[in-house]
Amino acid sequence: MSKHDIVYILKNDYDTDEIRYSLRSVVMNFPYRKIVFVGGCPKGIRADIVIPDKQEGYMKADRAMHSLKVALQRDDLTEDIWLFNDDFFVMDKVREDINYFNGTLEKRVNDIKSKKGYSNYCRSLDLARGQLAMHNKDSLSFALHVPMLINRANALQLFSIFPGLRMFRSLYGNYYEIDCKYMKDVKVLDNETIPDTPFISTSDTSFKNGKVGVFLRQYFNQPCDYEFSEEELLRMKTKERFDEEGDIQYE
């Protein structure tokens, strides 16, 4: 398995704890070259590369796409990169470069409609399906919560092919006809489930209050090199206090 950079897109005001355990799982189980944060950089956590971004856009998805585009233009990253979310946890040793799909876009739309009605998210999925059809491409759904390997140049080109790009994963996977395997989505939304899967993804609620969150915090209970030590945190707090007192002194 080749070592590529791992890219996390984080909100500028990111302040939740999932990223800490996601990084621990990566260090334990996932070969990589460098860890890259785009947007926010949580206190007490470091990365090999931090790329600031104002994250322009009205919708959350638009802001994420803006940050992704910024990262894709960086020549100091590997040619291929792994896209990670902060709530992706790698449970087993990863030994191959492979992507995953979990059915078709049509099935995903129907599944969501049966539970929640025809949402804006469903409209975006349908739009992606229509865009792919115009290019005579399949409409597999790559919208599942596991890492995705993408080529930076191809991904950047996708922004020109599909203006107002959304549903990036499915548009990328189908347009470039990437090698892939089927996998059920691993997202845990309830407070009771602990899946036995190579990856796990959580919601804010299931990570904070669910059995899966307790399990992950116990399983990945050892800090990794991307976390500041207690001594480093103490020095940072001391410096912040000194700076604040200095500011007050000169007011």
pLDDT digits (tens, 9 = 90+) for 9-50: 998 777 778 999 999 999 999 999 999 999 988 888 999 999
pLDDT category of residue 237 using cuts at 50, 70 and 90: low
Give the predicted TM-score (pTM) of the model. 0.90
Flag whether pLDDT at 54 surpasses 90. no
pLDDT at 249: 41
pLDDT at 241: 56
Provide the mean pLDDT of the chain: 90
pLDDT digits (tens, 9 = 90+) for 115-153: 888 888 888 999 999 999 999 999 999 999 999 999 999
H, E, C per residue of the chain? CCCCEEEEEECCCCCCCHHHHHHHHHHHHCCCCCEEEEECCCCCECCCEEECCCCCCCCHHHHHHHHHHHHHCCCCCCCEEEEECCCEEECCCCCCCCEEECCEHHHHHHHHHHHHCCCHHHHHHHHHHHHHHHCCCCCECCCCCCCEEEEHHHHHHHHHHCCCCCCHHHHHHHHCCCCEEECCCCEECCCCCCCCCCEEEECHHHHHHCHHHHHHHHHCCCCCCCECCHHHHHHHHHHHHHHHHHHHHCC
pLDDT at 243: 55
> Measured between alpha carbons, how far is 7 from 71 in angstroms, rounded to an integer?
8
58 vs 171, higher pLDDT: 171
- In percent, the amount of the chain with pLDDT more than 90 equals 71
Q: What is the mean pLDDT of residues 177-186?
A: 96
pLDDT digits (tens, 9 = 90+) for 182-221: 999 999 999 999 999 999 999 999 999 999 999 999 999 9
Decide if 16 contacts 90 (C-beta within 8 A): no
pLDDT at 115: 83
pLDDT at 247: 47
Flag whether pLDDT at 68 surpasses 90. yes
Flag whether pLDDT at 65 surpasses 80. yes
Phi–psi pair at 87, nearest 5 degrees: -105, 30
Q: What is the mean pLDDT of residues 153-173?
A: 94
